[in-house]
Amino acid sequence: MPGPLLFSTNPFIKLLIQEKYRGDKHYVWCSESFDCTKISAYSGASLVAPSSNPAEIYRQLKEECKRSEKHSARIREMRTTIQALASQWEANKEISTSDKEEIFVMASDPDLATYWKPLIYAIPRALVDKRLVTVPLSKRASFGIEYNIPDLTRYEFDIIELD
Amino acid sequence: MLTAVKQFDRKTREGILAKLALELGNPFADSSRTEEKVSDQEIYIRILDEIKERLNLNRPSISNEFARARVFEYLGNEIRQLALDSNHIAEARRRLGNKGLLSSRGYTVKFGPEFIDLSEPLGLPRSDVASVIATADLIEHLLPDHKGQDESNAVSLFVKTYQHAPDPYSILVDGNRKGAEIAVRCGLRIFHSDVDVTNVRSPLDLLRAFIDRFGHEFSVAQKTGKFFLYETIQIASPMASQKLVEFRQDAGQSFDTLIAFRKAGQSAVEIGIAYVINISQYAASLLQHGIRVTRKDIKLG
């Protein structure tokens, strides 16, 4: 039986962008467990790949920010993705050119500790159950179930940071 | 410029590269977008081949984490060059600064005359304040436009707490934010044994708690209080003919007035932030905590 919470790990810059430039609608990928390695091996949630495990993403990002690791593969990939999205949003007239430029400036800021620090979103499942979109197996890194929520609002999740 | 896209105009190149980046893997966007039929597969293959060649990824494997990261970075740099005119960066940073979206290290820190005259001689060196801004535990960028005020009154508050010091304290910095610049107006070393910090959740809470303890009541054009934040106050007569801030001058006490305001026509002032500190009481407290106070203008009773 699924737990009452869903978990998603996201860098702070993504929260900022979705809050300030995307009408406070947050697109997230989430899992039924925060740390899929800590649950029964016979549970479906334990099959979530490390690259999609919120706890693992949190640990990696936290460490990379702490070390100010400019060559972090994850951050480089996310930075390019954010820039590509901003470019598409502008092309689709969803944001202005000024907005796009601001997103690019934030995404390329060398201060990793501020913009890329990881945040855990704790999402009460009951609030979003009807809007959960199961990620097709072809898009998952493993068999473990993952969800998308395309339009999470800021009132539907709490943010946790771990020391 | 990538040869594979050189026949296209700048905007089209940006669009093609952005789409390619999202095709390669997009943990943020709507997954249905990656289901789109890509009519441009051929050009994507040519772009990727060219990038791999340029990066000397001779045994290219996009599943290889290192190669993948290098390709992503290259794509990101190309997209940025096309999308962000270098002449626009300073202006974008200014806008981000006004919105409070720059990282703390992204702001240029300057020290206003109030800080130099009033705060620094209370044992708070500029280096400490710069460090607080760069590594603050709590930051609050107050937005004047939310209160219908001009952006010149933008207030930023920064707090760094030294909880594990033998005598725990926080440093609170009050600055005027102008684009990507913070002009520090006031810095306060606040000892937790002096001020009730039990319910402090934000820099503004801490400033209010400090004012509760060391603030002094004052009036702005007949309106009386200990603390004003983003208030527009009507004035009866032209400002030149009256003092903006008035308060009771208790004998043997000195006071510091911190006020950020602008005239709004002939009959109103927009207060950004305003408070008056009983500096005699505050300096006496700092001395008790062993802080070196070098200001000569303070009556210590």
Picking from A105, A132, A134, A138 by the largest number of B CB atoms within 10 A of its own CB, the best residue to mutate is A105
Does the pLDDT at position B106 exceed 50?
Answer: yes
Pairing of strands B268-278, B255-263: antiparallel
Does the CB of B69 have a partner CB in chain A at under 8 Å? yes
Q: How confident is the model at residue B37 (pLDDT cuts 50, 70, 90)?
A: very low
- B101 vs A contacts (CB less than 8 Å): 16, 20, 102, 106
More confident residue, A16 or B58: A16
Does the CB of B54 have a partner CB in chain A at under 8 Å? no
In B3-22, the residues whose Cβ lies within 8 Å of chain A are 11, 14-15, 17-19, 21-22
Planar angle of CA A30, A63, B171, nearest 5 degrees: 105
Sorted by sequence, the CB contacts under 8 Å of residue B222 that are 6+ apart come out as B236
Sorted by sequence, the CB contacts under 8 Å of residue B271 that are 6+ apart come out as B153, B220, B228, B229, B230, B231, B232, B233, B259, B260, B261
User: Average pLDDT, stretch A96-113?
Assistant: 93
B76/chain A closest Cα distance in angstroms: 4
A150/chain B closest Cα distance in angstroms: 7
User: Average pLDDT, stretch A88-110?
Assistant: 95
For residue B34, the model assigns a pLDDT of 43
Q: How confident is the model at residue B33 (pLDDT cuts 50, 70, 90)?
A: very low
Pairing of strands B181-191, B218-220: unpaired
Picking from B5, B36, B79, B101 by the largest number of A CB atoms within 10 A of its own CB, the best residue to mutate is B101
Least confident of B44-58, B210-224, B235-249: B235-249
Other Cβ atoms less than 10 A from the Cβ of B199: the count is 8
- ipTM associated with this complex: 0.86
For residue B32, the model assigns a pLDDT of 43
Express each pLDDT in A115-157 by its tens digit. 999 999 999 999 999 999 987 766 666 656 789 999 999 999 9
* Burial group, residue B185, by CB count within 10 angstroms (0-12, 13-18, 19+): buried
Does the pLDDT at position B35 exceed 90?
Answer: no
Which of B22, B72, B93 is closest, CB to CB, to A88?
A: B22
More confident residue, B262 or B180: B180
Does the pLDDT at position B261 exceed 50?
Answer: yes
* Burial group, residue A83, by CB count within 10 angstroms (0-12, 13-18, 19+): buried
Express each pLDDT in A25-81 by its tens digit. 999 999 988 887 766 666 666 666 666 788 988 998 998 888 876 678 888 889 999
For residue B31, the model assigns a pLDDT of 41
For residue B125, the model assigns a pLDDT of 95
- Phi, psi at residue B142, to the nearest 5°? -85, 140
Taken in order B70, B74, B80, B85, the sign of the CA dihedral is: positive
* Average pLDDT in chain B: 86
Does the CB of A15 have a partner CB in chain B at under 8 Å? no
Structure tokens at B147: 């209160």
Helix, strand or coil, per DSSP, at residue B260: strand
Q: For residues B152 and B145, what is the distance between their CA atoms, to the nearest angstrom?
A: 10
**End-to-end CA distance of chain A, in Å?**
30
Beta carbons of B176 and B182 less than 8 angstroms apart: yes
